[in-house]
């Protein structure tokens, strides 16, 4: 069993990153389709497409919260499992997997109950108007029932990738995405179910993915297997996972909070059309964030395994390769958006007024996107090294210390066009946050490398 994952410590880094990152990036690109295909179809519903798109966009904070809770458990548990594998401690790695599985089931049950009971209250607080609340409720009431499938698919798939089974992890996403792309037009247009059809297609697709993921982790091909004896929760096992995963949770949950703040502020200054544009802007932003996260997820098993094995040279080589690849992608995508904003906006709506409004807003909102490669490479490496405190600091700084206040400050600083000022909060916060992250990472990464180099030297002398 121990021999299966040794390639993480021996194969050339470039070859490994391609082997692991291509499937994870592909999975994230497909996952991006998974996330935005509903909005593409909904935005083109005859007559009510623009309002329906806005209504579903208001559901996004709740959907982000569901995904954030999956990340809370998995993004901490998966790197810890990889580190244990690097230390040749398969028993501890499997206990981590089992505890995370049991915890996600409990979290799923609680989230489902909360969403079903307080759906309407949340949606009205998140920026729904009388024109859009009906569409939002129609989508969210069905989506809430499938919470457990979303939780287990997103959460447990991270443990598949963490073992080096990147292609299997990719297939987990591909299966669900293909189902969703096929079922969406059938339920929305053929059966005439509208936004309810989009939600039903998503839930059924996630259920198929969930079955695939669990059948692998309970099967014989996996290195780490879910064993019922390991699902009994032990604080000494799952609390360190939650501590490490809290950075990713804060990052994703803060997206939900920020989305609410954007929607409420934009509704005040620009009305439903400004909120509808925000739905498109956040969808386009996924073109940057999800592939970059896929690159980071591909590098994570290499970094974590070699950190656990005290191989500082391979840890450094992995980071610099990840940084170059991430920065190249973010710069190219930024250039495309700046040059052709109408192409990206036109994917989501045929409404002339919304399209024209979104084109100019997109250039403002994505102005600092070329820097995302630095932010994500550093943040994902923090997590891969088990540096929970640094990851949390970075996540809090970008969203809560910088972006959240700027959403409300900018309209007062530039009152001539308050709607545009709200959109400007994003690039200003991103530019400052990337600078802070890079400085913090420089010192923390050197400290982490020194710590494993010292341990290696101690072993050599003894």
Helices (H), 348-417: 352-365, 372-384, 388-396, 404-413
The domain total for the chain is: 1
pLDDT tens-digit readout, 86-145: 888 999 999 999 999 999 999 999 999 999 999 899 998 887 888 889 999 999 999 999
458: left (phi over 0), alpha (psi -120 to 50) or beta: alpha
Q: Is there a domain that residue 322 lies in?
A: yes
Q: Kindly report the CA angle at 170 between 98 and 298, in degrees rounded to 5? A: 80
**Residue position matching structure tokens 């390769």:** 321
State both tokens at 412: 């007062």
Q: Is there a domain that residue 248 lies in?
A: yes
pLDDT band at 2 (very low <50, low <70, confident <90, very high): very low
Burial of 236 (0-12, 13-18, 19+ CB in 10 A): exposed
Q: Is there a domain that residue 5 lies in?
A: no
**Using CA atoms, how far apart are residues 42 and 337, in angstroms rounded to an integer?**
23
Q: What is the pLDDT of residue 166?
A: 80
Q: Is there a domain that residue 6 lies in?
A: no
Residue 48 CB partners (closer than 8 Å, separation 6+): 135, 194
pLDDT tens-digit readout, 159-183: 998 888 888 988 888 898 889 889 9
pLDDT band at 456 (very low <50, low <70, confident <90, very high): low
Q: What is the pLDDT of residue 3?
A: 45
CB 245 within 8 A of CB 77: yes
Could you count the other beta carbons within 10 Å of the beta carbon of residue 167?
18
Look at 176-180, 217-221, 449-453 and tell me which has the smallest mean pLDDT: 449-453
Backbone φ and ψ for 89, nearest 5 degrees, come out as -105, 80
- Asked if the model's pLDDT at residue 361 lies above 80, the reply is yes
pLDDT band at 211 (very low <50, low <70, confident <90, very high): very high
pLDDT tens-digit readout, 365-418: 999 999 999 998 998 898 888 887 887 788 788 888 999 999 999 999 999 899
- Asked if the model's pLDDT at residue 320 lies above 50, the reply is yes
Q: What is the pLDDT of residue 457?
A: 53
Q: Is there a domain that residue 2 lies in?
A: no
The pLDDT of 265-277, averaged and rounded, is 89
- Asked if the model's pLDDT at residue 284 lies above 60, the reply is yes
**Using CA atoms, how far apart are residues 208 and 211, in angstroms rounded to an integer?**
5
Query: For the chain, how are helix, strand and coil distributed in percent, rounded to 5?
Result: 85, 0, 15
The pLDDT of 354-369, averaged and rounded, is 92
Do you know the residue count of the chain? Answer: 462
Residue-range definition of the domain harbouring residue 223: 11-461
Q: Is there a domain that residue 282 lies in?
A: yes
State both tokens at 70: 């999956």
- Asked if the model's pLDDT at residue 459 lies above 60, the reply is no
Q: Is there a domain that residue 4 lies in?
A: no
From 155, 146, 156, select the one nearest 179 (Cα to Cα).
Answer: 146
Q: What is the pLDDT of residue 286?
A: 79
Q: Is there a domain that residue 222 lies in?
A: yes
pLDDT band at 455 (very low <50, low <70, confident <90, very high): low
- Asked if the model's pLDDT at residue 428 lies above 70, the reply is yes
């Amino acid at each position: 069993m121990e021999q299966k994952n040794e390639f993480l410590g021996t194969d050339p880094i470039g070859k490994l990153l391609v082997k692991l990152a291509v499937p994870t990036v592909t999975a994230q690109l497909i996952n991006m389709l998974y996330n935005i295909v509903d909005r593409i179809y909904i935005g083109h519903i005859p007559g009510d497409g623009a309002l329906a798109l806005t209504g579903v966009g208001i559901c996004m904070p709740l959907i982000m919260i569901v995904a954030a809770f999956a990340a809370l458990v998995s993004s901490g548990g998966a790197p810890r499992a990889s580190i244990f594998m690097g230390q040749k401690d398969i028993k501890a790695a499997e206990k981590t997997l089992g505890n995370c599985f049991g915890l996600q089931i409990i979290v799923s049950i609680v989230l489902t109950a909360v969403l079903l009971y307080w759906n309407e209250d949340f949606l009205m607080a998140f920026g729904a108007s009388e024109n859009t609340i009906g569409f939002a409720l129609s989508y969210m009431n069905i989506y809430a029932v499938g919470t457990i499938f979303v939780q287990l698919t997103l959460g447990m798939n991270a443990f598949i990738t963490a073992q080096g089974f990147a292609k299997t992890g990719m297939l987990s996403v591909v299966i669900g995405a293909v189902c969703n792309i096929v079922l969406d037009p059938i339920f929305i247009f053929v059966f005439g179910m509208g936004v309810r059809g989009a939600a039903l297609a998503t839930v059924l697709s996630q259920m198929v993915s969930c079955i695939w993921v669990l059948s692998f982790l309970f099967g014989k091909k996996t290195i780490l297997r879910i064993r019922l004896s390991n699902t009994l929760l032990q604080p000494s096992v799952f609390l360190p996972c939650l501590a490490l995963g809290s950075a990713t949770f804060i990052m994703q949950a803060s997206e939900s909070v920020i989305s609410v703040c954007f929607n409420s502020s934009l509704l005040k200054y620009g009305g439903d059309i400004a909120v509808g544009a925000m739905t498109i802007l956040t969808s386009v932003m996924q073109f940057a964030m999800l592939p970059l996260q896929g690159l980071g997820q591909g590098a994570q098993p290499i970094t974590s395994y070699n950190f656990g094995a005290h191989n500082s040279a391979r840890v450094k080589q992995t980071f610099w390769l990840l940084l170059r690849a991430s920065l190249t992608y973010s710069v190219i995508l930024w250039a495309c958006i700046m040059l052709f904003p109408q192409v990206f906006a036109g994917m989501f709506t045929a409404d002339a007024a919304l399209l024209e409004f979104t084109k100019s807003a997109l250039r403002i909102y994505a102005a600092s996107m070329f820097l995302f490669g630095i932010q994500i490479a550093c943040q994902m490496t923090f997590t891969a090294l088990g540096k929970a405190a640094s990851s949390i600091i970075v996540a809090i700084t970008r969203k809560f210390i910088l972006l959240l206040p700027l959403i409300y400050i900018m309209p007062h600083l530039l009152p001539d066009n308050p709607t545009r000022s709200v959109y400007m909060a994003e690039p200003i916060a991103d530019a400052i946050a990337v600078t802070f992250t890079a400085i913090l990472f420089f010192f923390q990464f050197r400290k982490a490398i020194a710590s494993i180099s010292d341990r290696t030297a101690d072993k050599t002398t003894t």
